[in-house]
Structure 1
Amino acid sequence: MTDSLDIRKTVLCVEEVRHDGGPKLATPVLKGWCAVILRNPFAGRYEPDLMWMMEAMKPIGLMVAEKLLAGLGGDPARIEAYGKGGLVGAAGELEHGALWHVAGGYAMRGLLGQALSIVPSMTKVGPMGALLDLPIHHRNAAYVRSHFDGITAVVPDAPRPEEILFALAMTTGGRPHARVGGLAQAEISRWDGQR
């Protein structure tokens, strides 16, 4: 059934953030997303068994994670935060976007090495050109407040009604001028994915 996973294209977007209205950063923060747009084999019908696709998508998740990491410089140690999401075309259902949890999230965590936090996620059904806001938080401690963030993924011609857009997001730092308190990255102590 893996031949049903027909990829139309991938899209990579990387921002280089030098400041956010305050002082210029000594090192710009790289923040990006990579999406894959593929045909939804379940479009237009209810299918009770979706699990084969989750398994078959694992190599696709790794490919997307590798493309994104390369776009951000290629060094897993520089990645501080991440997120993921799925945008299902109108002929699909919300549950189809959830197929990305294992394929995308686990692939990204495995590629980065130590990545203890659950990967935050957003899934929705929408038309071509819909915005997909990907939530982002720290890769090792979800409570690191400086890394509560997000990035918007948009592909003007996707997803078509019978497609799904799956995306991953990564950053090399938190918000440029974080100063609202909370757990700091340097204070991570429990190494439990949260604190």
Structure 2
Amino acid sequence: MNVRKIVTVIEEIRTEGGRAVSPPATVAVVAAVIDNPWAGRGFVEDLAPGIEAHASGLGALLAPAVLEALGAPSEAYGKAAVVGLDGEIEHGSALIHTLKFGDHFRKAANATTLLPAVEKRGPAGVVFDIPLKHITDATIRSHHQSVEARIADAPHPHEIVIGLAAAAQGRPQQRLAALTSEQ
């Protein structure tokens, strides 16, 4: 796996709705820009060899990095794959929609729920929103949020951006009733 660069972004929200957020709401994103193992090869029927070669290594690289960047236990998490224009969305999906990738994050965050995801294809600098949900209960509304990410020079046409996001809490100033209030 050729990693061209790793980008880390930490967002700290100190005020929301005109009121202080205390402690500040923190979200971290760590993304690796990698060569697309399938780009330039035409239609590849069997993606399994590439998944086997790359997915687990990406999860092992990114999971500890995003939790370290967050600097606190994660309560919400998500993942992303942004494929350059010479690839297919399926190439990104192949790398992130496997337990070989996601279980690294689940174990590191003591999580049990599925990781919400975004996959898309785009040019360098494309904006993508990583959806986040609670790490153990996807019905906890306060943790349904997203974080916007962008890497100015990635993905190149033959690259994929693979990212993980973690939040130390739910949305700042959340006040929606629990889902059980509607059942």
Helix, strand or coil for the counterpart of 1:167? strand
Mapped partners of 2:96, 2:172: distance in 1: 29
Select the residue among 145, 155, 162 that pairs with 1:166: 162
Taking structure 2 as the reference length, what is the TM-score of the superposition?
0.91
Unaligned runs of 5+ in 1: 185-195
Taking structure 1 as the reference length, what is the TM-score of the superposition?
0.86
Tell me how far 1:181 sits from its aligned partner: 1.1
Helix, strand or coil for the counterpart of 2:4? strand
Tell me how far 1:79 sits from its aligned partner: 0.8
Instruction: Indicate the residue corresponding to 2:135 in structure 1.
Output: 139
Select the residue among 86, 99, 119 that pairs with 1:91: 86
Select the residue among 47, 61, 69 that pairs with 2:67: 69
Instruction: Indicate the residue corresponding to 1:108 in structure 2.
Output: 105
Mapped partners of 2:18, 2:175: distance in 1: 12
Helix, strand or coil for the counterpart of 1:26? strand
Contact 1:84–1:120 under 8 Å retained in 2: yes
Aligned residues: 176
Of Structure 1 and Structure 2, which has the larger fraction of its residues in strand?
2
Select the residue among 114, 125, 130 that pairs with 1:129: 125
Mapped partners of 2:11, 2:175: distance in 1: 22
Structure 1 stretches of 4+ with a deviation exceeding 3 A read none
1:10 maps onto 2:15 in alignment: no
Contact 1:65–1:104 under 8 Å retained in 2: no
Unaligned runs of 5+ in 2: none
Select the residue among 75, 92, 97 that pairs with 1:80: 75
Helix, strand or coil for the counterpart of 1:28? strand
Select the residue among 25, 34, 38 that pairs with 1:38: 34
Tell me how far 1:6 sits from its aligned partner: 1.0
Cα 1:22/1:181, change in 2 over 3 Å: farther
Mapped partners of 1:52, 1:107: distance in 2: 19
1:56 maps onto 2:53 in alignment: yes
Cα 1:104/1:12, change in 2 over 3 Å: farther
Helix, strand or coil for the counterpart of 2:50? helix
1:3-44 Cα deviation digits (max 9, x unpaired): xx2110110000111121242122112101110001112113
Mapped partners of 1:110, 1:56: distance in 2: 20
Mapped partners of 1:104, 1:152: distance in 2: 21
Contact 1:84–1:104 under 8 Å retained in 2: no
Query: Which amino acid is the alignment partner of residue 172 of structure 1?
Result: A
Instruction: Indicate the residue corresponding to 1:188 in structure 2.
Output: none
1:177 maps onto 2:173 in alignment: yes
Query: Which amino acid is the alignment partner of residue 80 of structure 2?
Result: G
